[in-house]
Amino acid sequence: MILYPAIDLKGGECVRLLRGEMTAATVYNPDPASQAKAFQDSGCAWIHVVDLDGAFAGVAVNGVAVRSILSAVDVPVQLGGGIRSRAHIDTWLEAGISRVILGTVALRDPELVIAACRDHPGKIAVGIDARGGKVAVEGWAETSEITATDLALKFEDAGVAAIIFTDIDRDGALQGPNLDATGALARALSTPVIASGGVSSLDDLRAIAKLDKDGVAGAIVGRALYDGRVDVVGAVRALAGEAA
């Protein structure tokens, strides 16, 4: 199971939000590239990047910071936030992003996602962010009436590399991941699921690791790494099912 350390970009800086609120941002590193390099040097096999400003604007806003991250690391980088057209997808894949995460457009235009998966095998993930079980879009500013599972099932045969499932109510709150919802979603799908939101300890990661049998393939961790509640080496070991 893979650890995805999170780099959320706002105003060119590495921040963390509380439950998706842009007004509740804490700056952890003004240099995202150095943060990405630190994660790589600590043993991370992937980097998870989100353009928060882009998620609201619907276009890339922190492109300079993203490119600086790509220049700083050798490990693959997955990117989400404001990627809502085929041109956006192609531009980032050509720039060196290994996996593009599609969120809002997955709800608005599922056919675009399916076509992108066909043309870019293994390079498209779908980000499903849920509030009270319902999918939220536009930088989490709007909540739809469709459930996370129903949206995920639309892409079962599309060749999506992974479903990234975030429980918004847990995100950045350090209250533990929503294991029940994550496990239930993974069991309903054949597509691998990456857990996101709420991780606050190595015990949380060990609990997520037990969901591998259900189809959970990794976990995204943000605030807990920055606050020092979880160290990267320990997190990698916990997700691998290794003893402390």
| Spatial distance between the Cα atoms of 16 and 14, rounded to a whole number of angstroms | 7
Spell out the residues 6+ positions from residue 45 whose beta carbon is closer than 8 angstroms to its own.
2, 3, 75, 76
Strands (E), the chain: 2-10, 13-18, 21-29, 47-51, 77-80, 99-102, 124-131, 134-137, 142-147, 162-167, 193-196, 216-221
- Give pLDDT tens digits for 207-235: 999 999 999 999 999 999 999 999 999 99
Q: Tell me whether residue 157 is one of the annotated catalytic residues.
A: no
Q: Which residues pair with 14 in a beta bridge?
A: 9, 29
* 211 close to 3: Cβ distance less than 8 angstroms: no
pLDDT in the model for residue 56: 87
Amino acid at 111: E
User: Out of 51, 53, 129, 204, which one is annotated catalytic?
Assistant: 129
The pTM (predicted TM-score) of the whole model is 0.94
pLDDT at position 188, please?
A: 97
Q: How far apart are the first and last CA of the chain?
A: 16
pLDDT at residue 140, as a whole number? 67
| pLDDT on residue 165 | 96
pLDDT of residue 172: 62
Name the catalytic one among 8, 51, 53, 171: 8
Mark whether 53 is an active-site residue: no
pLDDT tens, the chain, 244 aa long: 999 999 999 999 999 887 767 777 899 999 999 999 999 999 999 999 999 999 889 899 999 999 999 999 999 999 999 999 999 999 999 999 999 999 989 999 999 999 999 999 999 999 999 988 899 887 667 888 999 999 999 999 999 999 999 988 876 667 889 999 999 999 999 999 999 988 999 999 999 999 999 999 999 999 999 999 999 999 999 999 886 5
Give the relative orientation of helices 179-188 and 202-209 as an angle to the nearest 10 degrees: 20
Supply the pLDDT for residue 243.
Answer: 61
